[in-house]
C-alpha cells in the first residue's frame, strides 16, 4: 500500500471522527438548549470542541438565556411591586371610605352646627383624597394606551406653572414647609399639551409635599433655548432614595411609612413630559432632592 493511500485513509478517519464529534456536540447543544428553554436554571452552555462556529453559537445561546433570566427577574419584581401597590391602593381606598361612612353617621346624629361643620370638613377632605387617588389611576391607565396622543398647543408656561404653585401654598404651609420661589417675569412660550404640563407640575409639587421636610425651592427660568421648572426639597431619609428608580412605576422610597402614595406620581409626570416634547430629570445632593422639568422654547423667545 502506497504512502498516499495511507495518508488518505488517515485523513478520512480524522475527518470522520471530527464529523462524529461535531454532530455529537450539536446534539448536546440542542438538548441543553431545550432544557434551558423549559426550565428555570442558571446553567450555561460550553463548547467542548475547538470549533469556532460552535463556540460562537453557544455564546449567542448563553446571551439569549441571560436575557430571558433578566426578563423573568424583572417581571417577578414588577409583579411583586404590583401586588404591593394593589394592597396599598385597597387600603388607601378602603380607609377613607370607612371614614366617610363613619362621619356621615355622625353627621346624621348631631344637631350641633359646629360639629356638623367639623364633620362636613372631614368628609370633604376624605372625598378629595379619593378623587386624587382615582384620578391618578385613571391617568396612569390612559398613558398605557399606545394610541393616546396629547393635543399640543402654543401657550405661555408662566400662565400654567404660577397658578399650580399658588394652589399648593396652603398645603405646604399646613405641613410646615417653607416655599421659596425664583420665577422669571418674562413670557415663556412653548408648544406643549397644557393639561399634561399642568399635571406634571402638580405631580412634582405633590411629591415635594408628601416627601419634603422643612423647605421647597421652586424655580422657573429661561435657559438658552429652553424653559426650566425645578422643585428642590429637603428629604428626611436620602439614603432610602434610589435616584435611578424614582421615575419607575410603583416606586416608593418609604413604603414602610404611613403616608399614602401610589408610587405613580413621578412616573406619570415622566411619561407626560416625554409625550409633550419635554424632559424630566431628578438629582439627589445630600438631603436635597430636585426634580427638573424642561421644555424647548418657541418663537423669538428661544433666540
Burial class (CB in 10 A: 0-12, 13-18, 19+), 11: exposed
Task: Quote the CA–CA distance of 262 and 86 in Å, as a whole number.
Answer: 9
Q: Which residues pair with 279 in a beta bridge?
A: 294
Residue pair 135/268 in contact (Cβ under 8 Å)? The answer is no
Give how far the C-alpha of residue 262 lies from the chain's centroid of Cα atoms, to the nearest Å. Answer: 11
Does a structural domain hold residue 203? yes
170/290 same-domain check: yes
d(Cα 198, Cα 216) in Å, to the nearest integer?
19
Residue 102 lies in a domain: no
Which residue, of 51, 72, 93, is where some domain finishes?
72
**pLDDT (0 to 100) of residue 9:** 76
> Which strands form 226-235's sheet, in the order they lie side by side?
178-183, 212-223, 226-235, 288-296, 279-285
216 found inside a domain: yes
In angstroms and rounded to an integer, the radius of gyration of the C-alpha atoms of the chain is 30
* Domain final position from 25, 51, 72: 72
In a domain, 220, yes or no: yes
Identify whether residues 59 and 186 lie together within a single domain: no
Pair 295, 174 in one domain = yes
Same-domain check for residues 66 and 159: no
Q: Do the Cβ atoms of 222 and 206 come closer than 8 Å?
A: no
Quick one: 169 and 271 in the same domain? Answer: yes
Which of 283, 282, 280, 161 shows the shortest CA–CA distance to 295?
280
Residue 13 lies in a domain: yes
Domain around 295: 153-302
Cell of 227: 424653559
Same-domain status, 34 and 161: no
User: How many structural domains does the chain have?
Assistant: 2
Q: 183 and 289: one domain?
A: yes
Distance CA 241, CA 263 (A): 13
φ, ψ at 39 (rounded to 5°): -115, 155
157 and 297 share one domain: yes
Domain assignment present for residue 173? The answer is: yes
**Is residue 121 situated within a structural domain?**
no
Inside any domain, residue 283 = yes
> According to the model, what pLDDT value does residue 162 have?
92
Cα(54)–Cα(165) distance, integer angstroms: 63
Q: What is the Cα–Cα distance from 66 to 85, expressed in whole angstroms?
A: 28
Q: Which CATH number goes with the domain that contains 175?
A: 3.30.565.10
Could you tell me where the DSSP H helices lie in the chain?
Answer: 3-38, 52-109, 113-143, 158-174, 194-211, 265-275
pLDDT in the model for residue 243: 87
Positions of the chain with pLDDT under 50: 255-258
Phi, psi at 242, each rounded to 5°: -95, 100
Residue that is last in its domain, among 46, 72, 98: 72
Q: How far is CA 23 from the centre of its chain?
A: 48
- Could you tell me the pTM of the whole model? 0.63
- Give the Å distances, CA to CA, from 48 to 20, 23, 61, 112: 13, 12, 15, 88
Is the domain of 167 the same as that of 294? yes
Q: Would you say the C-alpha torsion 61, 63, 65, 67 has a positive or negative sign?
A: negative
> Which residues make beta-bridge pairs with 168?
none
Chain segment 97-154, per-residue pLDDT in tens: 888 888 888 888 988 888 899 888 888 878 877 887 777 777 777 777 777 778 889 9
Amino acid at each position: 500500500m502506497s504512502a498516499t493511500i495511507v495518508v488518505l485513509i488517515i485523513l478520512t478517519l480524522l475527518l470522520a471522527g471530527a464529523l462524529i464529534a461535531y454532530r455529537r456536540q450539536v446534539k448536546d447543544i440542542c438538548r441543553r438548549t431545550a432544557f434551558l428553554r423549559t426550565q428555570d436554571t442558571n446553567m450555561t452552555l460550553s463548547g467542548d470542541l475547538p470549533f469556532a462556529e460552535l463556540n460562537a453559537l453557544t455564546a449567542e445561546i448563553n446571551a439569549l438565556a441571560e436575557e430571558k433570566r433578566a426578563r423573568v427577574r424583572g417581571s417577578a419584581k414588577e409583579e411583586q411591586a404590583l401586588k404591593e401597590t394593589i394592597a396599598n391602593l385597597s387600603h388607601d381606598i378602603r380607609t377613607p371610605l370607612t371614614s366617610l361612612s363613619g362621619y356621615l353617621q355622625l353627621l346624621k346624629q348631631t344637631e350641633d352646627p359646629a360639629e356638623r361643620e367639623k364633620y362636613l370638613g372631614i368628609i370633604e377632605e376624605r372625598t378629595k383624597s379619593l378623587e386624587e387617588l382615582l384620578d391618578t389611576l385613571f391617568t396612569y391607565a390612559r398613558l398605557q394606551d399606545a394610541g393616546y396622543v396629547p393635543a399640543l398647543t402654543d401657550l405661555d408656561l408662566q400662565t400654567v406653572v404660577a397658578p399650580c404653585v399658588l394652589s399648593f401654598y396652603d398645603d405646604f404651609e399646613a405641613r410646615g414647609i417653607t416655599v421659596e420661589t425664583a420665577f422669571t417675569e418674562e413670557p415663556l412660550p412653548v408648544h406643549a399639551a397644557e393639561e399634561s404640563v399642568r399635571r406634571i407640575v402638580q405631580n412634582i409639587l405633590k411629591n415635594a409635599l408628601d416627601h419634603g421636610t422643612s423647605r421647597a425651592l421652586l424655580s422657573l427660568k429661561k435657559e438658552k433655548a429652553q424653559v426650566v421648572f425645578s422643585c428642590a426639597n429637603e428629604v428626611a431619609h436620602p439614603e432610602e432614595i434610589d435616584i435611578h428608580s424614582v421615575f419607575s412605576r410603583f416606586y416608593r422610597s418609604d413604603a414602610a411609612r404611613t403616608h399614602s402614595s401610589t408610587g405613580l406620581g413621578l412616573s406619570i409626570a415622566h411619561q407626560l413630559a416625554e409625550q409633550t416634547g419635554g424632559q424630566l430629570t431628578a438629582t439627589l445632593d445630600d438631603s436635597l432632592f430636585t426634580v427638573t422639568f424642561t421644555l424647548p422654547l418657541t418663537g423669538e423667545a428661544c433666540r
